[in-house]
Amino acid sequence: MGYLSNSGTITVDAILTKKGRELLAKGQGAFNITQFALSDDEVDYDLWNPLHGLGTNYYGVVIENMPITEAVPDETQSMKYKLITLPVGTKSIPYLRTFDDATSYSFESSARKGKGEISITFSTYKYENLPQDDKLSESGMTYSVTILDTTYMDLRADSLPTGTVTSPSGNSIKYSNMIPNNSTFDLTFTVVGKTFANQDVQTKTTKLILENETYGSRLVVPISYTF
């Protein structure tokens, strides 16, 4: 959804995602918006200019006059930078990194290579003391993992510390940890390939979206499945 300002009026531009359209098609109240998030994807804060010659009222004039991004249905290209509340003094947003630093993953069906699934492990890391990359030590964080297309693959939660898991399989899983303070941890989720009989060899791709909802950190990982 986007807010478009034109000649003093504000227009709300909304486009449903694929999941939203599925729920709307079900009818019977299945499509029921209960929560929403705000983002500032289109804002470049490097344009803030405290040296503007006309004074403080003009420090952000370039930002305020930037074009506003219209709504897009692609989950990987929208809502990347959600507005969040962080403790006073926070200088940077922690980031997500996979255990093996891979930027994409591929696997094959069990009938071909004996795999049939692939596990992906990731953690949250600090970003304050470069070049040292330390895992973040903090309890109470909430994560969500979403696979965009479940036609050929499903998502499963595997190795998770003590906490609450919502929807342990399917296309989206949410996990809220309950670990003690000053503890670090890894999260492991598995992408499982579905079985298709009497098919020529095919390779299908989708994307896995990893999010630390507490800090707004986000990582999109392409997945390829050959069967």
Stronger pLDDT, 215 or 190, i.e. the higher one: 190
SS3 223: strand
CA torsion, ordered 136, 139, 142, 146, to nearest 10 deg: 50
| Cβ 223 vs Cβ 109: under 8 Å | no
Residue boundaries of the structural domains of the chain: 2-64, 95-226
pLDDT of residue 5: 56
State the average pLDDT over residues 23-34: 83
pLDDT of residue 198 exceeding 90: no
| Cβ 186 vs Cβ 68: under 8 Å | no
**pLDDT tens digits for range 168-181:** 666 888 888 877 66
Stronger pLDDT, 112 or 206, i.e. the higher one: 206
Highest mean pLDDT among 21-25, 43-47, 62-66, 221-225: 221-225
Stronger pLDDT, 151 or 4, i.e. the higher one: 151
pLDDT of residue 7 exceeding 60: no
pLDDT of residue 22: 83
Domain 95-226 sits in CATH at 2.60.40.2030
pLDDT of residue 9: 63
**pLDDT tens digits for range 72-95:** 766 667 777 777 777 777 777 788
Mean pLDDT of the chain: 80
pLDDT of residue 106: 92
**pLDDT tens digits for range 36-72:** 777 787 788 888 888 888 999 999 888 888 777 677 7
Q: What is 75-144 written as a DSSP string? A: TTTSSSSB-----TT--S--EEEETT--S-EEEE-HHHHS--EEEEEEEEE--SSTT--PBP--SS-EEE
pLDDT of residue 105 exceeding 90: yes
